[in-house]
Chains A and B, each alone.
Chain A
């Protein structure tokens, strides 16, 4: 379980705190979504989880261990993160790339052992990319590459998994496939935190949505509670209506066009 408690993150340039007293839980077996407008603090929370942001107050625990007291390697054995951006400079074989997920588990000489190889095979299978194992990373499509990155995170064999906008640039089918994959990973017992702009997909897949606004939690709860037109209009500062997904009845957001100024 990831527990974010009264977290305050600042970049110290006199501006308001990027994250200003945020608390929420990411329990095991659940898919928790972190949503909110651009600049609402989503990425800063991810950076704080990676110990790459200055935490002024509060903190993060993973399975009751305070993140700030852990070494980088200890943290990477508890929490796997698929960051938003990743530009690999040189292509690699998919299997070798996924094997880098074993880095925090390697011994002093950093040579992979038998259970490292097994973890890599399992991760490839879990993410559904066994067929790609011998391809090169620069020969993958956008959807394949995201799955391979998720496989790398799964190879870390951590109890918690964080993904920052994993479906940007993906078409509908690939986006759905990634959401299905994350949902099944959560059901298999992982604590999954998904940072996403795709409110409609999040509303259909997530158990809990944490909606941020200007560094604070505007609301959090089940999708039915968070997908509230008045609330979303005040957070996104845009007129919206809420309808229903015709298949499963999940709430769906439709942003309105501005009335024409005649």
Chain B
């Protein structure tokens, strides 16, 4: 196993900042890196300042926050569920958020904040439904995290089915709006949305980092966790809720961006991290970097068409995962 070195932190941070700078500079209108720095300080061409400050910067930061949230959520889930295939969208969050957004569209909501809020509420409701399903279905299997996971998958499947039914009779506008959720995009970034997402991610992510040692213990299984003084049921549910909160916040801000939550924890473990406190922080950094890079690709690969961000991350993620599988096999 590779050993994680202290300077890796600097490298991870440097790569993130570097890619973010490039992402701010490039797009339909490219701005030189020097002009970006000037614009950030409020100097130079007013058009460049507007592009950098009002368009690109919120978009890049939103992408970074979404990636950070998904990476941290995935790392916490894989550890506490002891399952390398666990990922945030398995909790039913994504389906629930899409249902929330579709309901808002169908009710004629045009206000961005209302749709975001509806998606967030939908995602969180799905998690509570999953917890309830696990409680009913898992009677006797006290605190079994696998029951929770299965319940999440079931609720997600139900939500997806509900969307299909709703969309079959929906107006074209509603269908387009719903599709946006399925494909994921950072294009609608506003500073307001960035602020709201940043607050949720700092809160839920910070809580996960605080409870990360508990995830270390949970990853040894329920009996061992109990012998080490951790109530596996209670603390498993806590991790589940916080991870779901992170996922719901990212989905409501940018729709479904697949594979980040699944792949990023594997990359970070490959760097030699095992303990969940550094693992979650590093997963946030790497997730941020990947989503910013994928969004840059989504904007610049086939201009003027903008490709769906969620599709790009999956296109990049699948081959990566195949390589990973080959190496571990």
Contacts and interface: CB of A to CB of B under 8 A. Distances in A.
Nearest to B274: A92
A156 B221 CA distance: 17
Interface stretch (A102-110, A173-181, A213-221, A230-238): A102-110
A90 B219 contact: yes
B26 interface: no
A170 B222 CA distance: 23
Contact of B227 (A11, A83, A110): A83
B302 interface: no
A13 B210 CA distance: 39
B84 A110 contact: no
Interface residues of A, number: 39
A113 interface: no
B83 A89 contact: yes
B275 A96 contact: yes
A51 B89 CA distance: 33
B223 interface: yes
Contacts of B219: 88-90
A92 to B, nearest CB: 5
B277 to A, nearest CB: 8
B319 interface: no
A100 B83 contact: no
Given A83-B223, A85-B223, A96-B275, A90 B229 contact: no
B84 A90 contact: yes
A147 B231 CA distance: 25
Given A50-B227, A52-B142, A103-B213, A96 B221 contact: no
A88 B82 CA distance: 7
A103 B220 CA distance: 13
A77 interface: yes
Interface in A92-128: 92-93, 96, 100-101, 103-104, 106, 109-110
A212 B26 CA distance: 74
B227 A103 contact: no
A88 B269 contact: no
14 contacts: A13-B140, A50-B226, A50-B227, A52-B226, A73-B229, A76-B229, A77-B229, A81-B223, A86-B220, A87-B82, A89-B83, A100-B228, A103-B228, A153-B227
Interface of A: 11, 13, 47, 50-52, 71-77, 79-93, 96, 100-101, 103-104, 106, 109-110, 136, 153, 156
